[in-house]
Amino acid sequence: MNQSVKPVVTRMGIDIGKFAFHVVGLDFAGKPVFRSRFTRERLIEFLARASPTVVGMEACPGSNWLARKAAACGHEVKIVPAQFVKPFVKSNKTDMIDAEAIAEAISRPTMRFAQPKTEAQLDLQALHRVRQRLVSNKTSIINQARAFLLEYGLTISAGAAHFVRHIPSILSDDENGLTPSMRNLLQELWQEYRSIEARLLQLRRQIEAIAAADDAATRLTSVPGIGQLTATAITAFAGTGTQFKSGRHLAAWLGLVPKEFSTGGKQRLLGISKRGNPYLRKLLIHGARSCVLHLDRTRDHLGVWINQMEAKGVHRNKVIVALANKLARIAWAVLTRQSAFYLRQPQQQ
């Protein structure tokens, strides 16, 4: 008498939702053997009962939480960037089709995966993202106040320093033509600006305290152009850096390498791709700009390289972006090698 053999699930794809999770299991041949829909609580129970297998999901809010839960149940977790899953979506789009596409995507030997974030990384990322929002709000306040003042013939030069220097005297001058209503409104904007500055100071001290207690962040600050803010951003978003094969892969992940459009054996390189994390890329470019302006070029090999680029007539902005690429590669080397520091070697006189 023939007995039915239960198919073995070799990998599962999970489409993550806020309340509903769609799961598709594939066998060794890649054929779907089950399709199910779970609530959040039922999904955790299902993963705990299921035999250890490969579990795939898209990189999205909630993927790191689910990755930790699945790993605790003994599964191997693979997180795929959403843009790499899209080519595997067939015909119409549904949550179940998305889950099947994820299960197929994780089977590809050349697929790229995102490293699951730890809770400490997520907490540090949240600090940076709150800081980024507050900086954006501060800039919005300055621009709005300057626009209001222009309607009354009063001008303030661009930049936070000019705003802080001139707005108190404008508010205290009763003869400058401001109406009482506009003066009160500008006073409220000024108070809001000061409260944001105070909150940013608190966040900076929190980040500095984290950087001082973290060995990797401390070593990263030895690199020119990388301070405590950038160092903690690197550890928060890039983790240990071991998911990148080399420093160039980290630079490519940050969008600091040229886009390529080559065909017919003819190579064509374009501007930088600007892919990956824009916040971390911006910090590295700001750090590179600081190096170009203030680095002691007689006591650092990077200074010699900057001199060589400028001697060739390369535009300063290109030098800055290329230097940011170098800083990313150096940061990867420091991050992935235990007890490694950047050594500024003085040049021979």
Helix (H, G, I), strand (E, B) or coil at 297: coil
Question: Are 324 and 281 contacting, i.e. CB atoms less than 8 angstroms apart?
Answer: yes
- pTM, rounded to two decimals: 0.85
Q: Identify which of 53, 105, 43, 117 has the alpha carbon closest to the alpha carbon of residue 80.
A: 105
Torsions phi, psi for 234 (to 5 deg): -65, -45
Tell me the sheet residues that pair with 266.
263
In one-letter notation, the amino acid at residue 121 is Q
With b for 16 or more beta-carbon neighbours within 10 A and e for fewer, the 217-226 pattern comes to bebbbebbbb
Residue with tokens 């903690």: 232
H-helix segments, 3-81: 40-49, 63-72
CA separation for the pair 168, 176 (Å, rounded)? 13
Take residue 266 and report the two structure tokens written for it: 């003819």
Q: Which fold has domain 11-105?
A: Nucleotidyltransferase; domain 5 (3.30.420)
DSSP per residue over 65-134, as a string?
HHHHHHHHTTPEEEEE-HHHHGGG--SS--HHHHHHHHHHHTT-TT---BPPPPHHHHHHHHHHHHHHHH
Domain ranges of the chain: 11-105, 119-213, 215-336
Contacts of 18 by beta carbon, 8 Å cutoff, 6+ apart: 62
CA atoms within 13 A of residue 320's CA, in its CB half-sphere? 17
- Along the 349 residues of the chain, how does pLDDT read in single tens digits? 445 556 788 999 999 999 999 999 998 888 989 899 999 999 999 999 999 999 999 999 899 999 999 999 999 999 999 999 999 998 888 999 999 999 999 999 989 898 899 999 999 999 999 999 999 999 999 999 999 999 999 999 999 999 999 999 999 998 888 999 999 999 999 999 999 999 999 999 999 999 999 999 999 999 999 999 999 999 999 988 888 889 999 999 999 988 878 888 888 888 888 888 899 999 999 999 999 998 888 888 888 889 999 999 999 999 999 999 999 999 999 999 888 888 766 555 4
Take residue 259 and report the two structure tokens written for it: 């886009």
